[in-house]
Structures are given as structure tokens and as C-alpha cells.
């Protein structure tokens, strides 16, 4: 029934390195889902905005996956909030891809994030195919839980998301909580919202490599390694990790000889306005000697950081799912995370990690200190974390997503009959 999918990821390319700029879990999601679909014999053409004149117009990533780099606006220096003004150009080139082929080239459109969703609503009508949309994050949810120093999402985004919810044939929510938010905050029809958890690459993020990973990364065997991995911006709350570390050292000075706080990732969003903010904060807190800043790394090296860590902390103000948390658990590392959004799904509280209400560094310090200083508790959570993560493989995600696609196609055919 399904031969070819148009995958829309307007504001960020799945080929970009996650952890830098606007690249994050969504990039991983789009690429890994596309790989799974291609492995099932479905061709995927991904459309994303070109950010360099040196990028080829069409890039053959691997068998079954093409990436179209669409020229829309200046190649460089354009921020995500500037992109709505460039969507007309993006829409034009996406539609041209169908015009240049035989009629009916695409069977379905799957858009990611609200900017792509706006493009998807046009493609849906022009191509007469179903539109499946994944929000990833939502303005109304983000604005209700803003971090200090973060800017509210504009009203234009809210209106855009409401339009997508109204027009999309199916909406994919990462968690049951996100499904509830789509229904209650956006008025989505319950029968059109399906829950499909994102996946984790269980061939890359594997357990049992703790000692080897530490040797490769130059981490002492007896170190108490606290890890933050992700984009450096207020939404992700990396400052909470540093403040929690300072609180732990104030209460347990002896820990200083073993504590290593690794912050892996690059500045993003409003974090770009103050690129030295975290380094300045570590100096201010008097913990610069134990903090190690690491630029964004490739997936396999990131897996080493997860495997080497004693605890991974994810104190975000909002997460639609929490891919970092699942990746860490797949490597056998317990997670201390905020009880927000999808983290309540990706972390099993008290079993594979600890969920914290709010963002008080004192609360995070207590939970992290317990795991750092109690090997038996950490070991018990480690084994359960691996088993928990095994239920989130990309093959499961792809199978369930295909089910949503088929439902959307059948419903559209019945509506047109």
C-alpha cells in the first residue's frame, strides 16, 4: 500500500550532529525512523532547509533514503524564529519535487515540528495524500513551563499548531501525556491521535562497557561521574546540574576528590546569547575544578559517555519524550530527571532512576548523591534500566508508525469514496 513517504523536517536536517544548534532528538528520530522504513521497502524522501551553498540539492544518504536540501532564505545566519517568513520558498520547492515526477509519486506526508507541519498542510491538499504530523514540542506546553531567561514561543506558532491539529489526518504523540495535551490544549479529535514512543538504537547504546568507556575517555576508574548531555540552553536546565554539584560538595567535601561533572553538548536557542554562561557559573560556584565541558560528539562517543557515567541528569523544563534518558538507560546508567512531559514515561521512577518535582538543585543533589555513594542502589537500577530501555527499540517505533500511516490512508480513502 505504501511505496514512498515525503518526510518534512524544515528547520533542522537529520544529517546534522545532535547536540549543536537546533539539532537534537528530533534529528535522531527522523533519520532512524527513515532507516527503519527503508529497511521495510518504503522509500523515504526527506526535505530540509539548506544551510550551506556547498550542500548538494539531493543527497543519497543510503539505499531508500534521499535528503533534499531546499534553498529557502539565506544559507547561514538564519535563526529558527526567522524561518516562518521563508516557508513560501520551502513550500514551492517541496511541491516542485512532485511536479517533476509521475502523478502520485508520494503516498503520504509525515511532517515534524510545527514549521514542517505548515508545509505539510499545503502538500496534503496539492498531492491529495494523508498528512501525519509529529509535534515533538508544543508552544502552549513550553510557555506554561518556561525556564528563567527563556523567551516565550510567539503567538504565530500557537496559531500554526492549532491549524495543523485541525488539518492533519493523524497526529503522533510521543507519550500518553502528550496525547492528553493535544486533546485538551489544542482540541485534537481523540481518534486521530496515536501514541508512538520514539526509539533508541540498541546496537549503539549498549550496556556492559563501563570500564572500557572510562579508559577511552580518560575518566579515572573510581571517579563519581555525573553527566549532562544535550543542547546548552535554559530549557534543558544544565545550570541545575552545576548547582546540584555545588550543593553536594558543600554537604560532602570528601566527594570532591572523585567527582567529575561532564557537560556534553553545544549552545542552542537562547543559550547562544550567553555562550560562556555555564563556565562562568562553575567559576562562581567554585566547582570549575571538577567540571569538564565537552563539545558535541558523535553517537558512538556519546554512548561511551553514557556508559562511563555513574548518573545521568536530565533536569529539563520540558521534554516531549527524553531521548537522552532512554539512551543512558540502554547503556545501564541510572537517570535523575525532572518529572515533566515524556520523562515520566522514559524513566521508571524509583526503578531505573529518580524523577524530581520542580528544579530545586537541593532536591537533585540529594538524589544524585545517594546514587553516587550507594553502589548497590546504583547497580540495582542499572540492571533494570537496561531491561526498561529494551522496550524502546526503533523497530517497535517503526512498526507502530506504519500502523498509523495505514490508518491514515484507509481513513482518507473512505472519506473520498
| Burial tier of 300 (Cβ tally within 10 Å: 0-12, 13-18, 19+) | exposed
Average pLDDT (27-52) is 93
pLDDT interval class at 147 (50, 70, 90) = confident
pLDDT at 139: 94
The pLDDT tens digits for 15-38 are 776 555 555 678 889 999 999 999
Give 67-104 pLDDT, tens digit per residue. Answer: 999 887 666 666 666 667 678 888 888 888 887 788 88
Share above pLDDT 90 across residues of the chain, in percent, rounded to a whole number:
74
157 is annotated as contributing to ligand binding: yes
29 marked as part of a ligand binding site: no
pLDDT score at 167:
97
Q: Is 309 annotated as a binding residue?
A: yes
pLDDT value, residue 71: 82
Higher pLDDT, 299 or 361: 361
| DSSP per residue, 306-320 | HHH-SEEEE--S--S
Residue 143 has pLDDT above 70, yes or no: yes
Q: Is 236 annotated among the ligand-binding residues?
A: yes
What CATH number is given for 209-390 in this structure? 3.40.50.2000
Phi, psi of 180 (to 5 degrees): -60, -40
The verdict on whether residue 17 carries a ligand-binding annotation is yes
Task: Tell me, rounded to whole angstroms, the distance of Cα 230 from its chain centroid.
Answer: 9
- Of 8-22, 39-53, 240-254, least confident by mean pLDDT is 8-22
Q: Establish how many alpha carbons lie within 13 A of residue 306's alpha carbon, considering only the half-sphere containing its beta carbon.
A: 31
% of the chain residues with pLDDT over 70: 93
- Beta carbons within 10 angstroms of residue 155's beta carbon: 10
Does the annotation list 24 as a binding residue? Answer: yes
Whole-angstrom distance between the N-terminal and C-terminal Cα of the chain? 17
Q: Has 110 been labeled as part of a binding site?
A: no
Closest CA to 72 of 22, 18, 13, 19: 13
**Is 319 marked as a binding-site residue?**
yes
C-alpha cell at 265: 553538548
Does the annotation flag 333 for ligand binding? yes
Q: What is the pLDDT of residues 303-340, one digit of tens each?
A: 999 999 999 999 999 898 889 999 999 999 999 999 99
CATH 3.40.50.2000 in the chain: give the residue spans: 4-199+394-416, 209-390
Has 23 been labeled as part of a binding site?
yes
Tell me, what DSSP letter sits at residue 294? E
99 belongs to an annotated ligand binding site: no
Q: Is 113 annotated as a binding residue?
A: yes
136 is in an annotated binding site: no
User: Annotated binding residue at 231?
Assistant: yes
Residue 266: per-residue pLDDT? 83
Is 233's pLDDT higher than 60? yes
327 is in an annotated binding site: yes
Instruction: Supply the pLDDT for residue 188.
Output: 98
β-bridge partners, 132: 110, 170
pLDDT for the residue 271: 46
CA distances from 274 to 19, 149, 150, 195 (A): 17, 10, 12, 37
pLDDT at 38: 97
* pLDDT, averaged across the chain: 91
To the question of whether residue 276 is assigned a binding role by annotation, the answer is no
**Domain 4-199+394-416 classified CATH 1.10.10.60?**
no
Q: Give Cβ neighbours of residue 374 (< 8 Å, ≥ 6 apart).
A: none
Amino acid at each position: 500500500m505504501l511505496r514512498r513517504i515525503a518526510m518534512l523536517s524544515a528547520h533542522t536536517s537529520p544529517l546534522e550532529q545532535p547536540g549543536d544548534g537546533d539539532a537534537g532528538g528530533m534529528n535522531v528520530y527522523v533519520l532512524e525512523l527513515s532507516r527503519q522504513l527503508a529497511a521495510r521497502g518504503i522509500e523515504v524522501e526527506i526535505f530540509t532547509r539548506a544551510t550551506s551553498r556547498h550542500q548538494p540539492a539531493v543527497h543519497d544518504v543510503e539505499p531508500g533514503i534521499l535528503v533534499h536540501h531546499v534553498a529557502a532564505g539565506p544559507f547561514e545566519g538564519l535563526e529558527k524564529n526567522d524561518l516562518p517568513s521563508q516557508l513560501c520558498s520551502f513550500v514551492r520547492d517541496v511541491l516542485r519535487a512532485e511536479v517533476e515526477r509521475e502523478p502520485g509519486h508520494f503516498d503520504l506526508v509525515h511532517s515534524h515540528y510545527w514549521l514542517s507541519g505548515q508545509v505539510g498542510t499545503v502538500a496534503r491538499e496539492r498531492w491529495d495524500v494523508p498528512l501525519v504530523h509529529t509535534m515533538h514540542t508544543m508552544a502552549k506546553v513550553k510557555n506554561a513551563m518556561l525556564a528563567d531567561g527563556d523567551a516565550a514561543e510567539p503567538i504565530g506558532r500557537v496559531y500554526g499548531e492549532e491549524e495543523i491539529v485541525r488539518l492533519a489526518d493523524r497526529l503522533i504523540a510521543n507519550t500518553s501525556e502528550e496525547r492528553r495535551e493535544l486533546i485538551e490544549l489544542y482540541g485534537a479529535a481523540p481518534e486521530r491521535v496515536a501514541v508512538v514512543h520514539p526509539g533508541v538504537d540498541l546496537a549503539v547504546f549498549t550496556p556492559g562497557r563501563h570500564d572500557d568507556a572510562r579508559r577511552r575517555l580518560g575518566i579515572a576508574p573510581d571517579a563519581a561521574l555525573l553527566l549532562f548531555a544535550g543542547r546548552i540552553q535554559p530549557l534543558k536546565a544544565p545550570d541545575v546540574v552545576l548547582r546540584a554539584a555545588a550543593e553536594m560538595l558543600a554537604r560532602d567535601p570528601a566527594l570532591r576528590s572523585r567527582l567529575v561533572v561532564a557537560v556534553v553538548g553545544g549552545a542552542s536557542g537562547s543559550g547562544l546569547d550567553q555562550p560562556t554562561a555555564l563556565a562562568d557559573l562553575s567559576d562562581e560556584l567554585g566547582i570549575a575544578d571538577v567540571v569538564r565541558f565537552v563539545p558535541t560528539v558523535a553517537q558512538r562517543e556519546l554512548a561511551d559517555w553514557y556508559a562511563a557515567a555513574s548518573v545521568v541528569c536530565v533536569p529539563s523544563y520540558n521534554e516531549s519524550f527524553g531521548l537522552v534518558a532512554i539512551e543512558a538507560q540502554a547503556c545501564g546508567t541510572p537517570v535523575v530527571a525532572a518529572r515533566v512531559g515524556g520523562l515520566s514515561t522514559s524513566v521508571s521512577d524509583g526503578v531505573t532512576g529518580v524523577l524530581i518535582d520542580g528544579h530545586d538543585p537541593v532536591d537533585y543533589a540529594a538524589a544524585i548523591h545517594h546514587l553516587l555513594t550507594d553502589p548497590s542502589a546504583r547497580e540495582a537500577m542499572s540492571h533494570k534500566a537496561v531491561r526498561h530501555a529494551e522496550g524502546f527499540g526503533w523497530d517497535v517505533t517503526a512498526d507502530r508508525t506504519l500502523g498509523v500511516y495505514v490508518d491514515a490512508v484507509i481513513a482518507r480513502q473512505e472519506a473520498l469514496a
